[in-house]
């Protein structure tokens, strides 16, 4: 440890807080919490600690500076640590890399007329959340069932407020039309409560009530109403049949946390039990974490996992674990969850016949997911080995970056940066560039600008390989651009399809092989199309192309939309922005009503009528012009 670091740590306070360890480039490589900052940070430099942990030795060797942030309590330090890990994504922290946000069913219970919707995050907004579920399709099916069975409206708040007559959902019998006061607030909330009872698993009484209502409707010869109730009962039975009853604790929600791993990594499985039924499981892969290694403190990394996981997910009534994390840590974690969501769940070891059964189910799922994940990762690593050998790289290309340029006749020049790590997309490192140092079509200037701007960001990890979409011409431009920005140390290859002279059919075009061009080599390199290396390289090229095209289309769409609205007299920038924010497309504005537009702040009925009239006239004019062009004879005729 340097004298500067010793002096720095000596002045650290002995109060709770969070510390951020940084490397020579100023990048945060580790975030930790502490009850006493000085004592905790000093422990990393203890020879005994470093001797027992290879990971700690690697970390300490890269520390250049340490910052800290004071908190009022250890609970606040826990809360801050989770948010900072998410923000900085430090290399040496246990962190959740699964960015897939699993769906929840959200009920806006604090509204006068609540509705159900799909949500990707649990927020502190006074709403009720159910989940998480593993399938967004299943959530949408459940939402449709709730809306049709209990006649819950599905329109957004802004649309709800401007309605003057019932929509088609009311005419189809799927909504009770609270937007136009065809049902009272109390009666509507009773329908919502029945839907909540269904989601909470209180289906026995609900189904009995529906059966009674169905029979009463049939006796009164209201056969259509009886048929709808019958269909609702059938739909409810089908939904419940899909969910396995595993617990007798039907009044509480449970999560079961188990893990399986080896030196390649660890899968932590969360199994979700709601109202006694399993609604799904979620695997979380933590690479390079061996749960059986003496260097790893299970209590520390599992607590960090739970802290991060329940920062954005539903907190159940009971959390069952496969190992104990200690009474003090359990108490602290419960205090953190109470501070975050106002809820203190029971956190305990899975015991008893029922608890062990749930734990066994979670461990079986963890083992299955672990086998699948490591098998795919082994396949990707095999592909990286093939790339290293074929391209004669000095090191394994664990990080590959691909760049693609997109424009339309020299306008709206954009570029995309796509990153693969260990052979799989790392979407948090994707970047889009709106190119601005030149005009017209200039691929070299575009490549030079995007690489120059990218390598100004020293906080990004350096790639071991750069891929550009194109053949020798694009490759030479990329090499020259790298020289201009002083990064000739990074290998670069070009990727292009093989071309033949003359005309060729669609079938021949599809069969053309991909060729990889290397600087200084005349002949291209090829890979078998079924090899892991081929799939990685073509996959990152296709992803970069998709990312660039989507950004380019978005910019062109915005420009087209703005130009059409520019033609409307009396519509300034502020009002134009309000229309874009609310409707998104000209087509949506055309299909709106005068009342919809007039209800916006700063609009009136006269302006609304003018907007709709001029947009309609503009569309008719475009249609007429297109028709004239189509019917005009060509020169050859």
DSSP string, 116-155: EEEESS--SSS-EEE---S-HHHHHHHHHHHHHHHT----
- 371: how many CB neighbours lie within 10 A of its CB? 12
Q: How confident is the model at residue 563 (pLDDT cuts 50, 70, 90)?
A: low
User: What distance in Å separates the CA atoms of residue 633 and residue 455, rounded to the nearest whole number?
Assistant: 53
Interacting residues of 504 by C-beta distance below 8 A, sequence separation 6+: none
Interacting residues of 244 by C-beta distance below 8 A, sequence separation 6+: 277, 278
Interacting residues of 287 by C-beta distance below 8 A, sequence separation 6+: 97, 264, 265, 377, 422
Q: Residue 163's pLDDT is what?
A: 81
> Could you give phi then psi for residue 270, rounded to 5 degrees?
-110, 120
Whether 526 and 515 have beta carbons less than 8 Å apart is answered as yes
Q: Residue 362's pLDDT is what?
A: 95
pLDDT exceeding 70 applies to what percent of the chain? Answer: 86
Q: Which of 376, 377, 350 is nearest to 271 (CA)?
A: 350
pLDDT exceeds 90 at position 275: no
Q: Which of 419, 407, 441 is nearest to 556 (CA)?
A: 407
Q: How confident is the model at residue 204 (pLDDT cuts 50, 70, 90)?
A: low
Whether 17 and 37 have beta carbons less than 8 Å apart is answered as yes
pLDDT exceeds 90 at position 569: no
Q: Residue 508's pLDDT is what?
A: 45
Task: Give helix then strand counts, H and E, for the chain.
Answer: 22, 19
> Could you give phi then psi for residue 431, rounded to 5 degrees?
-140, 150
DSSP string over 612-634: HHHHHHHHHHHHHHHHHHHHSPP
- 41: how many CB neighbours lie within 10 A of its CB? 21
Q: What is the pLDDT of residues 491-509, one digit of tens each?
A: 999 998 765 444 445 444 4
Whether 108 and 118 have beta carbons less than 8 Å apart is answered as no
Whether 468 and 402 have beta carbons less than 8 Å apart is answered as yes
The more confident residue out of 602 and 250 is 602
The more confident residue out of 97 and 376 is 376
Lowest mean pLDDT among 43-47, 236-240, 550-554, 631-635: 631-635
Q: Residue 414's pLDDT is what?
A: 86
Whether 118 and 140 have beta carbons less than 8 Å apart is answered as yes
Q: Give the three-state DSSP class for 10.
A: helix
> For the domain bounded by 253-373, which CATH number is listed?
3.30.420.10
- Helix 327-341 to helix 74-88 angle (10° resolution) is 70
Q: Residue 97's pLDDT is what?
A: 67
Stretch 223-244: mean pLDDT = 70
Whether 339 and 307 have beta carbons less than 8 Å apart is answered as no
Of 3.30.230.10, 3.40.140.10, 3.20.20.80, 3.40.1440.10, the CATH number of 3-88 is 3.40.1440.10
Q: Residue 271's pLDDT is what?
A: 94
Domain spans, the chain: 3-88, 110-243, 253-373, 399-554, 567-629
- Number of residues written out for the chain: 637
User: What distance in Å separates the CA atoms of residue 79 and residue 74, rounded to the nearest whole number?
Assistant: 9
Distances (CA, A) of 344 to 310, 316, 334, 340, 627: 12, 9, 5, 10, 68
User: What distance in Å separates the CA atoms of residue 129 and residue 108, rounded to the nearest whole number?
Assistant: 9
- Is it true that 3-88 and 399-554 share their CATH fold? no
Q: How confident is the model at residue 438 (pLDDT cuts 50, 70, 90)?
A: confident
Q: Residue 32's pLDDT is what?
A: 94
Q: Residue 633's pLDDT is what?
A: 32
Q: Read off the DSSP letter of residue 324.
A: -
Q: Residue 504's pLDDT is what?
A: 44
Whether 116 and 140 have beta carbons less than 8 Å apart is answered as no
The more confident residue out of 105 and 145 is 105
Which residues are registered as beta bridge partners of 18? 33, 69
pLDDT exceeds 60 at position 216: yes
Stretch 377-390: mean pLDDT = 94
Stretch 151-157: mean pLDDT = 88
pLDDT exceeds 80 at position 197: yes
Q: What is the pLDDT of residues 504-542, one digit of tens each?
A: 454 444 445 788 999 988 888 999 988 999 999 999 999
> For the domain bounded by 399-554, which CATH number is listed?
3.30.420.340
Q: Residue 17's pLDDT is what?
A: 95
When mean pLDDT is compared over 32-41, 97-106, 248-257, the highest value belongs to: 32-41
pLDDT exceeds 70 at position 200: yes
pLDDT exceeds 50 at position 336: yes
- 442: how many CB neighbours lie within 10 A of its CB? 18
Q: Which residue matches tokens 């459940």?
A: 142
Q: Helix, strand, coil: what percent of the chain each, to 5? A: 50, 20, 35
CATH architecture assigned to 567-629: Orthogonal Bundle (1.10)
Q: Residue 518's pLDDT is what?
A: 93
> Could you give phi then psi for residue 27, rounded to 5 degrees?
-85, 135
206: tokens are 């609900």
Q: How confident is the model at residue 384 (pLDDT cuts 50, 70, 90)?
A: very high
Q: Residue 461's pLDDT is what?
A: 86
Query: CA-based angle 147:149:155, to the nearest 5?
Result: 15
Q: How confident is the model at residue 627 (pLDDT cuts 50, 70, 90)?
A: very low
Lowest mean pLDDT among 361-365, 549-553, 562-566: 562-566
Q: Which of 63, 69, 25, 24 is nearest to 42 (CA)?
A: 63
Q: Give the three-state DSSP class for 61.
A: helix
């Amino acid at each position: 440890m340097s004298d500067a670091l010793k002096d720095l740590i000596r002045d650290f306070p002995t109060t709770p807080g969070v510390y951020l360890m940084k490397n020579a480039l100023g990048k945060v490589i580790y975030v930790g919490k502490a009850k006493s900052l000085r004592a905790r940070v000093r422990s990393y430099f203890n020879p005994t600690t470093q001797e027992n942990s290879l990971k700690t030795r690697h970390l300490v060797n890269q520390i250049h500076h340490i910052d800290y942030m004071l908190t009022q309590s250890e609970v606040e330090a826990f809360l801050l640590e989770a948010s900072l890990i998410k923000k900085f994504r430090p290399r040496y922290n246990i962190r959740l890399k699964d960015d897939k946000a699993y769906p929840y069913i959200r009920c806006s219970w604090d509204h006068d007329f609540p509705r159900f919707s799909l949500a990707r995050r649990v927020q502190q907004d006074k709403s009720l959340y159910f989940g998480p579920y593993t399938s967004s399709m299943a959530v949408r099916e459940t939402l449709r069932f709730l809306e049709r069975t209990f006649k819950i409206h599905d329109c957004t708040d802004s649309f709800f407020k401007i309605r003057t007559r019932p929509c088609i959902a009311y005419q189809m019998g799927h909504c009770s039309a609270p937007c136009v006061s065809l049902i009272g607030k109390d009666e509507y909330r009773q329908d919502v409560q029945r839907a909540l009872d269904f989601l909470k698993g209180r289906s026995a009484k609900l189904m009995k009530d529906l059966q009674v209502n169905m029979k009463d409707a049939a006796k009164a010869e209201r056969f259509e109403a009886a048929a709808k109730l019958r269909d609702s009962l059938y739909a409810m039975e089908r939904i419940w049949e899909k969910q396995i009853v595993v617990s007798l604790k039907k009044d509480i929600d449970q999560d079961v946390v188990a893990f399986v791993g080896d030196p390649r990594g660890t899968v932590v499985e969360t199994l979700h039990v709601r109202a006694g039924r399993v609604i799904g499981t979620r695997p979380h892969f933590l690479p390079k974490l061996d749960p059986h290694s003496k260097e790893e403190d299970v209590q520390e990394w599992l607590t960090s996992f739970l802290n991060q996981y329940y920062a954005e997910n539903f907190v159940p009534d009971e959390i069952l674990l496969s190992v104990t994390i200690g009474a003090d840590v359990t108490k602290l974690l419960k205090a953190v969850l109470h501070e975050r969501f106002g809820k203190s769940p029971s956190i305990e070891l899975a015991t008893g016949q029922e608890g062990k059964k749930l734990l066994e189910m979670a461990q079986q799922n963890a083992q299955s997911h672990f086998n699948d994940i490591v098998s795919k990762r082994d396949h990707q690593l095999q592909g990286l080995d093939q790339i290293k050998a074929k391209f004669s790289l000095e090191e394994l290309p664990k990080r590959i970056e691909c760049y693609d340029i997109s424009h339309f006749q020299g306008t709206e020049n954009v570029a995309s940066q796509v990153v693969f790590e260990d052979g799989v997309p790392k979407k948090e490192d994707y970047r889009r560039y709106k190119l601005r140092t030149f005009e017209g079509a200039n691929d070299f200037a575009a490549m030079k600008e995007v690489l120059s701007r990218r390598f100004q960001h020293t906080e990004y990890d350096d790639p071991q390989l750069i891929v550009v979409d194109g053949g020798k011409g694009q490759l030479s431009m990329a090499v020259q651009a790298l020289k201009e920005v002083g990064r000739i140390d990074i290998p670069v290859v070009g990727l292009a399809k093989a071309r033949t002279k003359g005309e060729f059919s669609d079938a021949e075009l599809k069969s053309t092989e991909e060729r990889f061009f290397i600087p200084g080599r005349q002949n291209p390199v090829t890979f078998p199309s079924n090899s892991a290396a081929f799939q990685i390289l073509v996959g990152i090229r296709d992803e970069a192309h998709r990312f660039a095209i989507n950004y380019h289309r978005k910019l062109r769409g915005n420009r087209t939309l703005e130009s059409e609205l520019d033609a409307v007299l009396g519509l300034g920038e502020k009002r134009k922005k309000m229309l874009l924010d609310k409707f998104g497309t000209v087509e949506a504005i055309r299909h709106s009503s005068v009342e919809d537009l007039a209800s916006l702040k700063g609009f009136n009925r006269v302006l609304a009528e003018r907007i709709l009239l001029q947009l309609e006239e503009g569309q008719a004019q475009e249609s007429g012009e297109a028709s004239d062009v189509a019917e005009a004879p060509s020169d050859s005729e």
